Structure 1
């Protein structure tokens, strides 16, 4: 039986909607000071971030009328922003494809959006930013099951923050505990990670290096870092960890993406990382991000026989 909703609660939600739409600028004629409407920008965003899509999927995920999307697509095709390509699994089906010109047009919109969100968050301190993100997560959880398109998450269940005092000790300890439990590695692995963390903290350069801690409900559940290497233009991806309780939410992939964004902005041209053949979940993430295996060597380490691997990715 539906719950009776009072008029003052309806008014409060409407007031918040008015405040937020005004605050993020969606009422402007051109979103992000561009020629595109909000809906047009969302179509470009979907194709840029999720790849080639059938029209029906875009209509479903964005809640659009088929005729409305058709008009937007026609406009984009005439402008050379979008084309149609055959589906690999069914040649009869056509997918919407963002052209190279479309990507070049979308890129400054995406950066402008990031900049505007950054400006919105900048006046808030660390605790306030996390409080805001938690509130957004709560809204997503409460409304997502009814409002979000099928198969899509309204909000991520985690937030990222920069490392602070005590985090390096946590990273080393949890690496040791997780790999001892999952792979049977001995205490020498925790000692190695502890040495890496100590060196990172001792020589930390915030212009060229960064470490992220992922949190869910205020608890640390993951980490990753960008560190300098001895080779100019090459950064190291280090300290990737995702706790068992945080898996299944795309956290590992998100952490790697954050590393790449920071590395590009810092002027790096390549990322390099060390892993082993036993870290299968991490290797799948790296391969999905464009890393290629450049060196491998059988070793006996951490009480196990394994293969050391070096992977690289051009940024």
Structure 2
């Protein structure tokens, strides 16, 4: 029975020892490779294809700048990465894997997939689902506790959230744009398809909460092996102006990159000015416009894309 702080501390430390042993991070070379855990993580991040600076990696990995600089120099000396001048800002040096670095990543990635596959293969279907649910719960708790500087926190969807997404889209779009109930029906179909065809490895829903109340949502849905769609971005009026919309979109971009998608697309309408501003700010490009009559109004539909 965990009944006091010292007991809880011992339990957390015990679990840490168990889990690090389980996934093999204490080995001298991660995944039977010559690379440490931190070196492997840097290789993994650079392999996702988006331009990163040393400062970006510091923020992403939470590393000391001096330590990371020495690690990057070591990887550069080994011929695994190179530093190239940014075309948009000549003062910045972007980090990029060399052909040798990409080969190292390929080996690490395959060994990681094989080890996880072997681990999951020893579990029943029910045990796998319990494991994934427990992992998501831990991530949810720590995401909630670490975002202390923001008035909101993000979590994965839970039972009842799809009803909220459908309801609030219907209410807000009627209040703000006069759209009829056919828009609510469209949202209901999108969330039903998401739940019925949910692929956790490739798709994600984020629900934003503030002071115990849901205030926003967004989805990433798989279109095909190379392309994902950003869908149903919504921020409640009371939560606007806090950076929540941008944060939700950035989470989608980060998730899509880590899953190896090459493109993230979305469909919106020209009258959604605030959402369009967020898409522009986060790097999306408007690629197509088409007039249509939907939800009781003449509208201009827009397709936006972001190359990852």
Bin the TM-score by the shorter chain: 0.5 to 0.7
Return the alpha-carbon distance in structure 1 between the equivalents of residues 12 and 182 of structure 2.
55
* CA displacement, residues 176-219 of structure 1 (integer Å, 9 cap, x when unaligned): 12322444433332244446667x58xx7679xx8754346798
Which residue of structure 2 aligns with residue 51 of structure 1? Answer: 51
Which residue of structure 2 aligns with residue 148 of structure 1? Answer: none
Match of 1:222 among 192, 217, 225: 217
Is the CA contact 1:234–1:272 (under 8 Å) kept in the aligned structure 2? no
Distance 1:12 1:54, change over 3 A: same
Is the CA contact 2:229–2:264 (under 8 Å) kept in the aligned structure 1? yes
Shift of residue 25 of structure 1?
1.7
Shift of residue 274 of structure 1?
3.1
Which residue of structure 1 aligns with residue 137 of structure 2? Answer: 134
Is the CA contact 2:268–2:303 (under 8 Å) kept in the aligned structure 1? yes
Is the CA contact 1:242–1:251 (under 8 Å) kept in the aligned structure 2? no
The SS at the match of 2:171 is helix
Which sections of structure 1, spanning at least 5 residues, go unmatched? 146-150
Return the alpha-carbon distance in structure 1 between the equivalents of residues 144 and 191 of structure 2.
35
* CA displacement, residues 95-118 of structure 1 (integer Å, 9 cap, x when unaligned): 351235234533553565567567
Matches within 5 A, 1:1-315: 11-48=10-47, 51-54=51-54, 58=58, 62-64=62-64, 66=66, 68-86=67-85, 91=90, 93=91, 95-101=93-99, 102-106=101-105, 109-110=108-109, 113=112, 119=119, 124=127, 126=129, 129-139=132-142, 142=145, 157-160=153-156, 171-194=165-188, 200=193, 212-215=204-207, 222-224=217-219, 226=221, 237=229, 239-244=231-236, 247=244, 250-255=247-252, 273-280=266-273, 282-283=275-276, 292-299=285-292, 301-311=294-304
Count, aligned residues: 288
Return the alpha-carbon distance in structure 2 between the equivalents of residues 65 and 238 of structure 1.
33
The SS at the match of 2:232 is strand
Is the CA contact 2:140–2:156 (under 8 Å) kept in the aligned structure 1? no
Distance 1:216 1:56, change over 3 A: closer
The SS at the match of 1:250 is helix
Distance 1:107 1:241, change over 3 A: farther
Is the CA contact 1:82–1:96 (under 8 Å) kept in the aligned structure 2? no
Over aligned residue pairs, what C-alpha RMSD do you find? 5.1
